[in-house]
Structure 1
């Protein structure tokens, strides 16, 4: 399904459906299209909200986890959201963890998939190679078990991003911030029910990371999807939605 982006008070976001709030957070190179299957699968009974994180627009001095967490808090307050089910992929999971740690009264349940926060091996850790299409294609394909999931449109989108020096500077700053911002000491304080949905073949946040999240977050359960890498909601959308539905009851 094609997602319609709304603009209000300087925020860009998707909002579909009515019911309990499902807040979705995309990753560093993520796009709204990453969540199409989740919106399609849940908007008939949930109010699905996806803020576009200002990864490429935020002031360079604020480009990091703290700035993104502050943005999310301000967005949630602006929209008056409460009692949320928060789902984050990759960097979005990291932002969601920080938000939950500081606002547990606002979060009913937390769902992480391929989340950073403990360890990740990503393209963003070093300066992306500008102008090298083959390199970008290889790195985008690296995030999927089946390289065919890395469509030309997706590769072109990442290629355009990495051809912008200002955007590259922000990507690197945010990626380094994520690597510095290890939450191993903090996440045992998360009390909300937490679901971990992981690709068994994740090369960026490997299965060992999922087991560590499961060990550290007290009220958590871990589910793996086979033949799946870093974005289960894209590679195996039906299985991902099924696991999330079971968790939500």
Structure 2
């Protein structure tokens, strides 16, 4: 049973999601092999003073013809409308960061703050070949461990989850489609359009979106600040949750959301 079982995972209208706490909305987007449990540390720390909302993106279950970043952005649009969310602080890890960027380009009025951690969109090393090797548990275990600085973070539960996904041919087809879509959707030429405060938290030892990728995001997004976490790979919120949360809390406090009401106050 995943540790996110301590939170209510709601299932309504074709959506599975967590919606905890009250206050400014933090909308969290997971990566290609991500899950709600990736964000446990963030949910625990932030749901006391923020509204933490995490939809499960239908990466493996969407119809194959829709399996693309555009399809995932359309899903987020529907979800945001369904939950009637506004003034978003958007947090995305890996592929989730990429989806968050494309959503921000389309809906600049909806996003007030942006956090990217190990985001794709400029460059990423693939999950090892175009098609995930099916049926080899050891191979999957090695690939999952590769996303962490400390292989012990790759728990058996996490490896089992990825192994189960990659054992299904339709799910693998979707993964390949979405990975190809991510490679087509290079965001470099559009990053100058982002003018909301942007926080970049990166693993100094990230092997999938290496540190130079973070520097490039920092250079191309004008209102951005970059922090590296040492002994950390592709999922800082999982490997170093305390440091990740500390950086995020400090940054949120320094960049309060400007709404029309408090601008007039």
Q: TM-score, normalised by structure 1?
A: 0.98
Pairing 1:54-65 to 2, within 5 Å after superposition: 54-65=58-69
- State the 1:125 CA deviation: 5.2
- Of residues 170-179 and 2-11 in structure 1, the stretch that sits farther from structure 2 once superposed is 2-11
Alignment of 1:228 onto 2:232: yes
Question: Aligned partners of 1:245 and 1:125: how far apart in 2?
Answer: 37
Gaps of 5+ in 1: none
Computing the radius of gyration from Cα coordinates, the structure with the larger value is 2
Unaligned runs of 5+ in 2: 254-265
Which residue is equivalent to 1:241?
A: 245
TM-superposed deviation, 1:79: 0.9
Name which of 75, 81, 88 aligns with 1:77.
Answer: 81
Aligned-partner Cα distance in 2 for 1:153–1:182: 33
Aligned to 2:165: 161
**What is the CA–CA distance in structure 2 between the aligned matches of 1:210 and 1:37, rounded to whole Å?**
22
1:182 aligns with 2:186: yes
- Tell whether 2:13 aligns with 1:30: no
Is 2:17 the counterpart of 1:16?
A: no
Corresponding residue number in structure 1 for 2:150: 146
Query: C-alpha deviations, 1:36-85, integer Å up to 9, x for none?
Result: 00000100000000001000111101101000001101110111100011
**For residues 92-171 of structure 1, what are the structure 2 equivalents within 5 Å?**
92-123=96-127, 126-171=130-175
1:213 is paired with a residue whose SS is helix
Q: Deviations along 1:82-140, whole A, 9 cap, x unmatched?
A: 00111000000000000011111111100000000000112175111111011000000
| Deviation, structure 1 residue 3 | 2.7
2: CA distance, partners of 1:12 / 1:186: 31
**Aligned equivalents of 2:38, 2:17: Cα separation in 1:** 14
Q: Hey, what's the Cα distance between the residues in 1 that align with 2:7 and 2:84?
A: 22
Equivalent-residue separation in structure 2 for 1:125 and 1:216 (angstroms): 29
Q: d(CA) in 1 for partners of 2:32 and 2:140?
A: 14
In structure 1, the residue corresponding to 2:170 is in which secondary structure? helix
Correspondence for 1:199 among 200, 203, 206: 203
Single out whichever of 1-10 and 34-43 deviates more from structure 2: 1-10
1:198 Cα deviation after fit: 0.1
State the SS of the aligned residue for 2:201. Answer: strand
Please tell me the root mean square deviation across aligned C-alpha atoms, in Å. Answer: 0.9
